[in-house]
Structure 1
Protein backbone atom coordinates (compact mmCIF):
# COMPACT_ATOMS: atom_id res chain seq x y z
CA UNK A 1 0.00 0.00 0.00
CA UNK A 2 1.40 3.42 -0.95
CA UNK A 3 1.84 6.17 1.60
CA UNK A 4 -0.74 8.22 -0.31
CA UNK A 5 -3.38 5.53 0.12
CA UNK A 6 -2.45 5.14 3.78
CA UNK A 7 -2.64 8.90 4.31
CA UNK A 8 -6.08 9.12 2.70
CA UNK A 9 -7.36 6.42 5.04
CA UNK A 10 -5.86 8.03 8.13
CA UNK A 11 -7.24 11.46 7.25
CA UNK A 12 -10.73 10.02 6.78
CA UNK A 13 -10.74 7.62 9.71
CA UNK A 14 -8.75 9.40 12.42
CA UNK A 15 -8.04 13.03 11.57
CA UNK A 16 -11.28 14.41 10.15
CA UNK A 17 -13.57 13.19 12.96
CA UNK A 18 -11.67 15.14 15.64
CA UNK A 19 -10.44 18.09 13.59
CA UNK A 20 -13.26 20.44 14.59
CA UNK A 21 -12.80 19.82 18.30
CA UNK A 22 -9.05 20.14 17.94
CA UNK A 23 -9.37 23.60 16.44
CA UNK A 24 -12.33 24.88 18.46
CA UNK A 25 -11.30 23.58 21.90
CA UNK A 26 -7.56 23.51 21.46
CA UNK A 27 -7.24 19.81 22.15
CA UNK A 28 -4.01 18.17 21.10
CA UNK A 29 -4.79 15.68 18.28
CA UNK A 30 -3.47 12.65 20.13
CA UNK A 31 -5.70 10.25 18.22
CA UNK A 32 -4.47 11.57 14.90
CA UNK A 33 -0.82 11.35 15.96
CA UNK A 34 -1.35 7.78 17.17
CA UNK A 35 -2.90 6.86 13.84
CA UNK A 36 0.00 8.41 11.94
CA UNK A 37 2.35 6.31 14.04
CA UNK A 38 0.42 3.07 13.72
CA UNK A 39 0.35 3.31 9.92
CA UNK A 40 4.02 4.17 9.51
CA UNK A 41 3.52 7.81 8.52
CA UNK A 42 5.52 9.17 11.46
CA UNK A 43 8.41 7.10 10.11
CA UNK A 44 7.89 8.26 6.53
CA UNK A 45 11.40 9.73 6.27
CA UNK A 46 13.28 7.18 8.37
CA UNK A 47 15.61 4.87 6.42
CA UNK A 48 14.18 1.50 5.42
CA UNK A 49 16.93 -0.33 7.32
CA UNK A 50 15.35 0.94 10.54
CA UNK A 51 11.81 0.12 9.44
CA UNK A 52 10.87 3.48 7.92
CA UNK A 53 9.62 4.26 4.43
CA UNK A 54 12.90 5.87 3.36
CA UNK A 55 11.23 8.85 1.71
CA UNK A 56 12.26 12.50 1.77
CA UNK A 57 11.21 16.13 1.97
CA UNK A 58 8.91 16.14 -1.10
CA UNK A 59 6.84 13.28 0.31
CA UNK A 60 6.80 14.80 3.80
CA UNK A 61 5.62 18.10 2.29
CA UNK A 62 2.81 16.31 0.50
CA UNK A 63 1.69 14.63 3.73
CA UNK A 64 1.74 17.95 5.58
CA UNK A 65 -0.15 19.75 2.78
CA UNK A 66 -2.92 17.17 2.60
CA UNK A 67 -3.19 16.99 6.38
CA UNK A 68 -3.41 20.79 6.67
CA UNK A 69 -6.55 20.75 4.53
CA UNK A 70 -8.24 18.55 7.15
CA UNK A 71 -6.62 19.55 10.47
CA UNK A 72 -4.13 22.43 10.60
CA UNK A 73 -3.06 21.54 14.15
CA UNK A 74 -2.03 18.02 13.14
CA UNK A 75 -0.14 19.44 10.17
CA UNK A 76 1.74 21.80 12.51
CA UNK A 77 2.76 18.87 14.68
CA UNK A 78 3.96 16.98 11.61
CA UNK A 79 6.01 19.97 10.45
CA UNK A 80 7.99 19.99 13.69
CA UNK A 81 8.28 16.21 13.80
CA UNK A 82 9.53 15.70 10.25
CA UNK A 83 12.03 18.56 10.65
CA UNK A 84 13.43 17.07 13.85
CA UNK A 85 13.57 13.62 12.26
CA UNK A 86 15.64 15.00 9.37
CA UNK A 87 18.36 15.78 11.93
CA UNK A 88 17.87 12.55 13.87
CA UNK A 89 18.29 10.58 10.64
CA UNK A 90 21.81 11.95 10.25
CA UNK A 91 22.96 12.10 13.87
CA UNK A 92 20.53 10.19 16.09
CA UNK A 93 20.84 6.71 17.54
CA UNK A 94 19.64 3.59 15.78
CA UNK A 95 17.25 2.94 18.66
CA UNK A 96 15.47 6.30 18.34
CA UNK A 97 15.24 5.94 14.58
CA UNK A 98 13.69 2.52 15.04
CA UNK A 99 11.20 3.88 17.57
CA UNK A 100 10.16 6.64 15.17
CA UNK A 101 9.77 4.14 12.34
CA UNK A 102 7.63 1.94 14.60
CA UNK A 103 5.36 4.89 15.34
CA UNK A 104 6.20 5.02 19.03
CA UNK A 105 8.14 8.28 19.05
CA UNK A 106 7.04 11.83 18.25
CA UNK A 107 9.74 14.48 18.13
CA UNK A 108 9.61 18.27 18.04
CA UNK A 109 11.79 21.39 17.96
CA UNK A 110 13.01 23.37 20.97
CA UNK A 111 15.25 25.93 19.29
CA UNK A 112 13.77 29.43 19.72
CA UNK A 113 14.34 31.46 22.89
CA UNK A 114 13.44 34.82 24.36
CA UNK A 115 15.96 37.50 23.61
CA UNK A 116 17.44 35.90 20.49
CA UNK A 117 16.74 36.99 16.97
CA UNK A 118 17.62 39.12 14.04
CA UNK A 119 15.79 39.47 10.76
CA UNK A 120 12.80 37.33 11.63
CA UNK A 121 11.51 34.26 13.38
CA UNK A 122 13.73 31.88 11.45
CA UNK A 123 16.88 33.87 12.29
CA UNK A 124 16.16 33.24 15.97
CA UNK A 125 17.12 29.63 15.44
CA UNK A 126 20.70 30.59 14.60
CA UNK A 127 21.78 31.60 18.08
CA UNK A 128 21.14 30.40 21.63
CA UNK A 129 21.39 31.60 25.19
CA UNK A 130 21.04 28.08 26.54
CA UNK A 131 24.07 27.15 28.59
CA UNK A 132 25.58 23.67 28.51
CA UNK A 133 27.82 22.51 31.37
CA UNK A 134 29.36 19.04 31.44
CA UNK A 135 30.15 17.08 34.57
CA UNK A 136 31.47 13.64 33.78
CA UNK A 137 29.05 11.91 31.45
CA UNK A 138 26.17 14.30 32.17
CA UNK A 139 25.39 17.69 30.65
CA UNK A 140 23.20 20.32 32.31
CA UNK A 141 21.17 22.42 29.86
CA UNK A 142 19.59 25.58 31.23
CA UNK A 143 17.15 27.54 29.04
CA UNK A 144 13.66 28.82 28.38
CA UNK A 145 12.58 27.53 25.00
CA UNK A 146 9.54 29.15 23.45
CA UNK A 147 7.03 28.31 20.73
CA UNK A 148 7.66 24.61 21.13
CA UNK A 149 5.07 22.62 19.18
CA UNK A 150 3.68 19.53 20.95
CA UNK A 151 5.16 20.76 24.24
CA UNK A 152 4.45 18.12 26.86
CA UNK A 153 3.14 15.78 24.14
CA UNK A 154 6.27 14.91 22.17
CA UNK A 155 8.65 12.15 23.23
CA UNK A 156 11.78 14.19 22.55
CA UNK A 157 12.92 17.66 21.55
CA UNK A 158 15.64 18.77 19.18
CA UNK A 159 17.31 21.25 21.53
CA UNK A 160 19.98 23.91 20.87
CA UNK A 161 22.57 25.34 23.24
CA UNK A 162 25.84 27.19 23.31
CA UNK A 163 28.76 24.84 22.64
CA UNK A 164 30.40 22.95 25.46
CA UNK A 165 33.91 23.87 24.43
CA UNK A 166 33.89 25.24 20.90
CA UNK A 167 34.41 28.99 20.57
CA UNK A 168 31.28 29.66 18.54
CA UNK A 169 28.33 28.03 16.81
CA UNK A 170 25.61 25.91 18.38
CA UNK A 171 25.37 22.42 19.77
CA UNK A 172 22.26 20.30 19.23
CA UNK A 173 20.83 17.71 21.59
CA UNK A 174 18.14 15.09 21.62
CA UNK A 175 16.40 15.81 24.91
CA UNK A 176 13.94 13.14 26.13
CA UNK A 177 10.62 14.59 27.22
CA UNK A 178 10.80 12.53 30.43
CA UNK A 179 14.17 13.99 31.44
CA UNK A 180 14.19 15.23 35.05
CA UNK A 181 13.41 18.92 35.65
CA UNK A 182 11.98 19.57 32.19
CA UNK A 183 8.89 21.69 32.81
CA UNK A 184 5.98 22.68 30.56
CA UNK A 185 3.58 25.27 32.02
CA UNK A 186 -0.01 24.09 32.33
CA UNK A 187 -1.23 27.08 30.37
CA UNK A 188 0.09 27.14 26.78
CA UNK A 189 1.43 30.31 25.27
CA UNK A 190 -1.05 32.44 23.36
CA UNK A 191 0.81 31.61 20.15
CA UNK A 192 0.76 28.85 17.62
CA UNK A 193 -2.01 26.89 15.96
CA UNK A 194 -4.90 26.02 18.27
CA UNK A 195 -4.58 22.38 19.28
CA UNK A 196 -0.87 22.15 18.45
CA UNK A 197 0.13 22.37 22.15
CA UNK A 198 2.54 25.18 21.37
CA UNK A 199 4.06 26.38 24.63
CA UNK A 200 7.21 27.28 26.52
CA UNK A 201 9.48 24.52 27.80
CA UNK A 202 11.68 25.32 30.79
CA UNK A 203 14.94 23.64 31.79
CA UNK A 204 16.46 24.84 35.08
CA UNK A 205 18.48 22.78 34.27
CA UNK A 206 17.63 19.55 32.48
CA UNK A 207 20.24 16.79 32.72
CA UNK A 208 21.03 14.69 29.65
CA UNK A 209 23.78 12.19 28.82
CA UNK A 210 26.75 13.68 27.02
CA UNK A 211 26.10 11.29 24.14
CA UNK A 212 22.71 12.97 23.58
CA UNK A 213 24.60 15.53 21.47
CA UNK A 214 23.60 15.41 17.80
CA UNK A 215 26.59 16.15 15.61
CA UNK A 216 29.77 17.82 16.77
CA UNK A 217 30.13 20.40 19.52
CA UNK A 218 29.59 23.77 17.86
CA UNK A 219 28.45 22.12 14.62
CA UNK A 220 24.76 22.69 15.22
CA UNK A 221 24.66 26.00 13.38
CA UNK A 222 25.56 24.34 10.11
CA UNK A 223 22.93 21.65 10.76
CA UNK A 224 20.29 24.32 11.37
CA UNK A 225 21.25 26.14 8.18
CA UNK A 226 21.55 23.09 5.96
CA UNK A 227 18.81 20.86 7.34
CA UNK A 228 16.45 22.44 9.87
CA UNK A 229 15.59 25.64 8.02
CA UNK A 230 15.12 24.11 4.56
CA UNK A 231 12.84 21.40 5.96
CA UNK A 232 10.93 23.71 8.28
CA UNK A 233 10.28 26.39 5.68
CA UNK A 234 9.35 23.91 2.96
CA UNK A 235 6.88 22.16 5.27
CA UNK A 236 5.39 25.46 6.43
CA UNK A 237 4.89 26.49 2.82
CA UNK A 238 3.24 23.15 2.09
CA UNK A 239 0.79 23.75 4.92
CA UNK A 240 -0.10 27.14 3.48
CA UNK A 241 1.31 29.04 6.45
CA UNK A 242 1.93 32.74 6.12
CA UNK A 243 5.13 33.28 4.20
CA UNK A 244 8.23 33.70 6.39
CA UNK A 245 10.27 36.86 6.27
CA UNK A 246 13.25 34.80 5.21
CA UNK A 247 13.30 31.97 2.74
CA UNK A 248 15.66 29.06 3.18
CA UNK A 249 17.94 30.08 0.32
CA UNK A 250 18.33 33.58 1.74
CA UNK A 251 19.22 32.24 5.17
CA UNK A 252 21.86 29.91 3.77
CA UNK A 253 23.40 32.57 1.53
CA UNK A 254 23.48 35.43 4.04
CA UNK A 255 26.55 35.49 6.29
CA UNK A 256 25.81 34.18 9.77
CA UNK A 257 27.24 37.33 11.32
CA UNK A 258 24.56 39.45 9.63
CA UNK A 259 21.82 37.32 11.16
CA UNK A 260 23.12 37.40 14.71
CA UNK A 261 21.43 39.85 17.08
CA UNK A 262 23.36 43.06 17.63
Structure 2
Protein backbone atom coordinates (compact mmCIF):
# COMPACT_ATOMS: atom_id res chain seq x y z
CA UNK A 1 0.00 0.00 0.00
CA UNK A 2 1.33 3.47 -0.91
CA UNK A 3 2.47 5.74 1.89
CA UNK A 4 0.12 8.56 2.85
CA UNK A 5 1.34 11.94 1.62
CA UNK A 6 1.37 14.57 4.36
CA UNK A 7 2.77 17.42 2.27
CA UNK A 8 0.04 19.92 1.36
CA UNK A 9 0.08 20.74 -2.38
CA UNK A 10 -1.95 23.89 -1.66
CA UNK A 11 0.68 25.21 0.74
CA UNK A 12 3.47 24.18 -1.62
CA UNK A 13 2.15 26.03 -4.65
CA UNK A 14 0.93 28.98 -2.57
CA UNK A 15 4.50 29.55 -1.33
CA UNK A 16 5.84 29.13 -4.85
CA UNK A 17 3.44 31.63 -6.49
CA UNK A 18 3.81 34.23 -3.71
CA UNK A 19 7.58 34.10 -4.10
CA UNK A 20 7.27 34.19 -7.88
CA UNK A 21 5.30 37.45 -7.61
CA UNK A 22 7.97 38.88 -5.28
CA UNK A 23 10.66 37.71 -7.72
CA UNK A 24 9.00 39.63 -10.56
CA UNK A 25 8.63 42.73 -8.37
CA UNK A 26 12.28 42.54 -7.29
CA UNK A 27 13.44 42.07 -10.87
CA UNK A 28 11.43 45.12 -11.90
CA UNK A 29 13.04 47.21 -9.15
CA UNK A 30 16.51 46.06 -10.22
CA UNK A 31 15.91 46.91 -13.87
CA UNK A 32 14.46 50.36 -13.14
CA UNK A 33 17.21 51.19 -10.63
CA UNK A 34 19.97 50.04 -13.00
CA UNK A 35 18.45 52.01 -15.88
CA UNK A 36 18.26 55.20 -13.81
CA UNK A 37 21.85 54.76 -12.62
CA UNK A 38 23.02 54.25 -16.21
CA UNK A 39 21.12 57.31 -17.44
CA UNK A 40 22.52 59.53 -14.69
CA UNK A 41 26.04 58.17 -15.01
CA UNK A 42 26.25 58.63 -11.24
CA UNK A 43 29.51 58.03 -9.42
CA UNK A 44 28.95 56.47 -5.99
CA UNK A 45 31.82 57.65 -3.80
CA UNK A 46 30.80 56.42 -0.36
CA UNK A 47 28.06 54.73 1.67
CA UNK A 48 26.18 58.01 2.06
CA UNK A 49 25.97 58.44 -1.72
CA UNK A 50 24.71 54.87 -2.02
CA UNK A 51 22.04 54.78 0.68
CA UNK A 52 20.67 58.26 -0.02
CA UNK A 53 20.33 57.59 -3.74
CA UNK A 54 16.87 56.15 -4.57
CA UNK A 55 18.15 54.28 -7.63
CA UNK A 56 20.91 52.58 -5.61
CA UNK A 57 18.42 51.64 -2.90
CA UNK A 58 16.09 50.24 -5.59
CA UNK A 59 18.93 48.09 -6.98
CA UNK A 60 19.82 46.80 -3.51
CA UNK A 61 16.20 46.12 -2.51
CA UNK A 62 15.49 44.45 -5.85
CA UNK A 63 18.60 42.24 -5.60
CA UNK A 64 17.76 41.05 -2.08
CA UNK A 65 14.13 40.43 -3.07
CA UNK A 66 15.11 38.47 -6.19
CA UNK A 67 17.54 36.30 -4.20
CA UNK A 68 15.12 35.59 -1.36
CA UNK A 69 12.15 34.95 -3.66
CA UNK A 70 14.19 32.60 -5.83
CA UNK A 71 15.42 30.64 -2.79
CA UNK A 72 11.93 30.47 -1.27
CA UNK A 73 10.16 29.64 -4.54
CA UNK A 74 12.63 26.93 -5.58
CA UNK A 75 12.70 25.53 -2.05
CA UNK A 76 8.91 25.16 -2.07
CA UNK A 77 8.69 23.81 -5.62
CA UNK A 78 11.49 21.25 -5.19
CA UNK A 79 10.62 20.54 -1.54
CA UNK A 80 14.24 21.34 -0.68
CA UNK A 81 14.67 21.77 3.06
CA UNK A 82 18.07 23.45 2.80
CA UNK A 83 16.66 26.23 0.63
CA UNK A 84 13.58 26.53 2.85
CA UNK A 85 15.75 26.89 5.96
CA UNK A 86 17.92 29.55 4.29
CA UNK A 87 14.71 31.35 3.30
CA UNK A 88 12.97 31.43 6.65
CA UNK A 89 16.18 32.08 8.63
CA UNK A 90 16.98 35.06 6.39
CA UNK A 91 13.42 36.36 6.60
CA UNK A 92 13.51 35.95 10.39
CA UNK A 93 16.77 37.94 10.56
CA UNK A 94 15.28 40.74 8.45
CA UNK A 95 12.15 40.75 10.63
CA UNK A 96 14.27 40.95 13.79
CA UNK A 97 16.23 43.84 12.29
CA UNK A 98 13.00 45.71 11.53
CA UNK A 99 11.77 45.19 15.09
CA UNK A 100 15.09 46.42 16.52
CA UNK A 101 14.88 49.46 14.23
CA UNK A 102 11.34 50.20 15.48
CA UNK A 103 12.51 49.91 19.10
CA UNK A 104 15.46 52.25 18.44
CA UNK A 105 13.09 54.73 16.80
CA UNK A 106 10.87 54.62 19.89
CA UNK A 107 13.89 55.10 22.20
CA UNK A 108 15.20 57.95 20.03
CA UNK A 109 12.01 59.99 20.31
CA UNK A 110 10.67 59.08 23.75
CA UNK A 111 13.74 58.31 25.92
CA UNK A 112 16.16 61.25 25.44
CA UNK A 113 18.58 60.07 28.18
CA UNK A 114 18.97 56.64 26.58
CA UNK A 115 19.31 58.27 23.16
CA UNK A 116 22.27 60.31 24.39
CA UNK A 117 23.98 57.37 26.09
CA UNK A 118 23.51 55.04 23.12
CA UNK A 119 24.47 57.79 20.64
CA UNK A 120 21.54 56.88 18.39
CA UNK A 121 21.57 60.14 16.44
CA UNK A 122 23.70 59.66 13.29
CA UNK A 123 24.94 63.24 13.39
CA UNK A 124 27.93 62.75 11.08
CA UNK A 125 25.76 61.20 8.35
CA UNK A 126 23.32 64.11 8.40
CA UNK A 127 26.14 66.65 8.49
CA UNK A 128 27.65 65.02 5.37
CA UNK A 129 24.27 65.18 3.64
CA UNK A 130 24.00 68.92 4.36
CA UNK A 131 27.57 69.51 3.16
CA UNK A 132 26.94 67.68 -0.14
CA UNK A 133 23.63 69.41 -0.87
CA UNK A 134 24.91 71.46 -3.84
CA UNK A 135 27.42 68.87 -5.02
CA UNK A 136 24.99 66.02 -5.70
CA UNK A 137 21.68 66.54 -7.52
CA UNK A 138 20.18 63.37 -6.02
CA UNK A 139 21.10 64.48 -2.52
CA UNK A 140 19.61 67.91 -3.21
CA UNK A 141 16.34 66.46 -4.52
CA UNK A 142 16.06 64.06 -1.59
CA UNK A 143 16.65 66.75 1.05
CA UNK A 144 14.27 69.15 -0.69
CA UNK A 145 11.58 66.46 -0.80
CA UNK A 146 12.05 65.67 2.90
CA UNK A 147 11.96 69.35 3.91
CA UNK A 148 8.86 70.08 1.86
CA UNK A 149 7.07 66.88 2.93
CA UNK A 150 7.78 67.18 6.66
CA UNK A 151 7.69 71.01 6.66
CA UNK A 152 11.12 71.34 8.23
CA UNK A 153 14.51 72.88 7.59
CA UNK A 154 17.82 71.15 8.27
CA UNK A 155 18.18 67.56 9.45
CA UNK A 156 18.74 67.86 13.20
CA UNK A 157 16.45 67.06 16.12
CA UNK A 158 16.15 70.66 17.38
CA UNK A 159 13.82 73.67 17.21
CA UNK A 160 16.52 75.53 15.27
CA UNK A 161 17.29 72.96 12.62
CA UNK A 162 17.52 75.66 9.97
CA UNK A 163 20.91 76.62 11.42
CA UNK A 164 22.27 73.30 10.11
CA UNK A 165 22.71 75.09 6.79
CA UNK A 166 25.66 76.95 8.27
CA UNK A 167 27.58 73.72 7.60
CA UNK A 168 27.16 74.10 3.84
CA UNK A 169 29.77 76.24 2.12
CA UNK A 170 27.19 77.95 -0.11
CA UNK A 171 24.83 78.93 2.74
CA UNK A 172 27.41 79.44 5.46
CA UNK A 173 27.04 82.71 7.33
CA UNK A 174 30.36 84.03 8.58
CA UNK A 175 32.22 87.32 9.02
CA UNK A 176 35.54 85.67 8.14
CA UNK A 177 36.95 87.64 5.19
CA UNK A 178 39.02 84.69 4.03
CA UNK A 179 35.88 82.66 3.27
CA UNK A 180 34.41 83.03 -0.22
CA UNK A 181 30.93 84.53 0.04
CA UNK A 182 28.26 83.23 -2.36
CA UNK A 183 24.99 84.84 -3.39
CA UNK A 184 23.22 82.38 -1.03
CA UNK A 185 25.32 83.16 2.04
CA UNK A 186 23.30 83.32 5.28
CA UNK A 187 20.26 81.87 3.47
CA UNK A 188 18.47 78.52 3.51
CA UNK A 189 17.19 76.49 0.51
CA UNK A 190 13.79 77.45 -0.98
CA UNK A 191 12.41 74.08 0.20
CA UNK A 192 12.54 75.49 3.76
CA UNK A 193 10.04 78.23 2.88
CA UNK A 194 6.47 78.25 4.11
CA UNK A 195 4.32 78.33 0.99
CA UNK A 196 0.55 78.15 0.71
CA UNK A 197 -1.29 76.54 -2.17
CA UNK A 198 -1.35 78.88 -5.16
CA UNK A 199 1.57 81.03 -3.97
CA UNK A 200 4.34 81.81 -6.43
CA UNK A 201 7.71 80.22 -5.70
CA UNK A 202 10.00 82.79 -4.12
CA UNK A 203 13.61 81.59 -4.35
CA UNK A 204 14.75 84.40 -2.06
CA UNK A 205 12.31 83.77 0.77
CA UNK A 206 15.06 82.26 2.93
CA UNK A 207 17.55 85.10 2.37
CA UNK A 208 19.50 86.08 5.51
CA UNK A 209 17.52 83.56 7.59
CA UNK A 210 20.69 82.35 9.32
CA UNK A 211 21.27 85.83 10.73
CA UNK A 212 17.93 85.83 12.53
CA UNK A 213 16.40 84.07 15.52
CA UNK A 214 13.71 81.45 14.95
CA UNK A 215 11.06 83.61 16.64
CA UNK A 216 11.48 86.31 13.97
CA UNK A 217 11.37 84.11 10.87
CA UNK A 218 8.83 81.51 11.97
CA UNK A 219 6.26 82.93 9.56
CA UNK A 220 8.62 82.79 6.59
CA UNK A 221 10.50 79.48 6.84
CA UNK A 222 10.16 76.24 8.77
CA UNK A 223 12.60 76.28 11.68
CA UNK A 224 12.32 72.76 13.15
CA UNK A 225 14.90 70.20 12.05
CA UNK A 226 13.53 67.29 10.01
CA UNK A 227 14.28 64.65 12.65
CA UNK A 228 12.22 66.64 15.13
CA UNK A 229 9.49 67.17 12.52
CA UNK A 230 9.39 63.43 11.83
CA UNK A 231 8.82 62.75 15.53
CA UNK A 232 5.98 65.29 15.57
CA UNK A 233 4.44 63.64 12.51
CA UNK A 234 4.69 60.17 14.09
CA UNK A 235 2.95 61.39 17.25
CA UNK A 236 0.16 62.98 15.20
CA UNK A 237 -0.31 59.90 12.97
CA UNK A 238 0.31 57.07 15.42
CA UNK A 239 -2.49 54.91 13.99
CA UNK A 240 -1.22 55.36 10.43
CA UNK A 241 2.34 54.48 11.46
CA UNK A 242 1.07 51.45 13.39
CA UNK A 243 -0.97 50.31 10.38
CA UNK A 244 1.99 50.67 8.02
CA UNK A 245 4.27 48.78 10.43
CA UNK A 246 1.68 46.01 10.77
CA UNK A 247 1.28 45.86 7.00
CA UNK A 248 5.05 45.38 6.61
CA UNK A 249 5.67 42.95 9.47
CA UNK A 250 2.55 40.76 9.35
CA UNK A 251 3.09 39.30 5.83
CA UNK A 252 6.67 38.43 6.80
CA UNK A 253 5.49 36.65 9.96
CA UNK A 254 2.88 34.71 7.92
CA UNK A 255 5.48 33.68 5.31
CA UNK A 256 7.93 32.58 8.00
CA UNK A 257 5.26 30.49 9.76
CA UNK A 258 4.02 28.90 6.51
CA UNK A 259 7.58 28.08 5.43
CA UNK A 260 8.38 26.50 8.80
CA UNK A 261 5.15 24.51 8.59
CA UNK A 262 5.98 23.31 5.08
CA UNK A 263 9.49 22.34 6.19
CA UNK A 264 7.95 20.31 9.05
CA UNK A 265 5.63 18.58 6.59
CA UNK A 266 8.62 17.53 4.45
CA UNK A 267 10.40 16.17 7.56
CA UNK A 268 7.29 14.23 8.56
CA UNK A 269 6.97 12.80 5.04
CA UNK A 270 10.62 11.67 5.04
CA UNK A 271 10.18 10.06 8.47
CA UNK A 272 7.14 8.19 7.21
CA UNK A 273 9.04 6.88 4.19
CA UNK A 274 11.92 5.72 6.40
CA UNK A 275 9.57 3.83 8.73
CA UNK A 276 7.98 2.02 5.80
- Shared fold per TM-score greater than 0.5: no
**Richer in helix (by share):** 2
Question: Which of the pair has more CA radius of gyration?
Answer: 2
Please give the TM-score of this superposition, normalised by the length of structure 2.
0.24
